[in-house]
Amino acid sequence: MAEPSGALADARVRVIAAARVLVCAAAVLVCACGGLERPSASTGTPTATAATALRGLAFLEGTWRAQIGDATTEEVWTAVSGGTVVGVGRVVSGDRTLFFEWMFIASSGDDVVLWAFPRGGEPVPFRLVEQHEGDVVFANPAHDFPKRMRYRSEEGGAVLFARVEGDDPADAEEFRWRRVVPH
């Protein structure tokens, strides 16, 4: 396969640089929260049950992007390592960031918890409540919205599907991100 050149090569370099910035920003946030009663980089060794569940999240790894109208939505997830997974997401329209979120997945005893920091604010925990190969559901019934988040691998790993939902199914939001392959 020939190496891309011109505008395509420039676009790929920008995608890789943006992904690295997002992952670094999430890592800084995780480190900053280490001393609080929140997730930290020193989560300890996961139990065998949690370690198995964490390994099952490997399908999240990568950079994912979708165009929705005039907005671009993307998520970037690190590899499962050290008993954690770190993610960042954002929605951009033109030169404005409309939404961003940092995410941190780690074990808590036998449980696996996704901590979401919407707009960099207070963390919201979502426990892993359902898991099958390439398909996970995190839930927090006490949270306003969302109460459930599903991630599912589709099209042989080329697409990451996500659905967030609350009490009313009509309020659910769905995303289908395509994997961005860096070169």
CATH value at residue 79: 2.40.128.20
Distance set, CA 159 to CA 61, 64, 100, 105, 175 (Å): 12, 8, 20, 20, 10
User: Does 33 reside within a domain?
Assistant: yes
Record the pTM.
0.78
Are 161 and 175 spatial neighbours (Cβ–Cβ below 8 Å)?
yes
Q: Does 17 map to a domain? A: yes
pLDDT digits (tens, 9 = 90+) for 28-83: 344 334 433 455 544 568 889 999 999 999 999 999 999 999 999 999 999 999 99
For the segment 148-178, what is each residue's pLDDT rounded down to a tens digit? Answer: 999 999 999 999 999 999 999 899 999 999 9
Domain that holds residue 112: 6-180
The band of 3, judged by pLDDT with boundaries at 50, 70 and 90, is very low
pLDDT value, residue 93: 97
Number of domains composing the chain: 1
User: What would the two tokens of residue 89 be?
Assistant: 């997401």
CA 101, CA 121: separation in Å to the nearest integer? 9
Can you give the pLDDT at residue 27? 42
Tell me which of 87 and 108 has the higher pLDDT: 87
Q: For the segment 107-149, what is each residue's pLDDT rounded down to a tens digit? A: 988 899 999 999 999 999 999 999 999 999 999 999 999 999 9
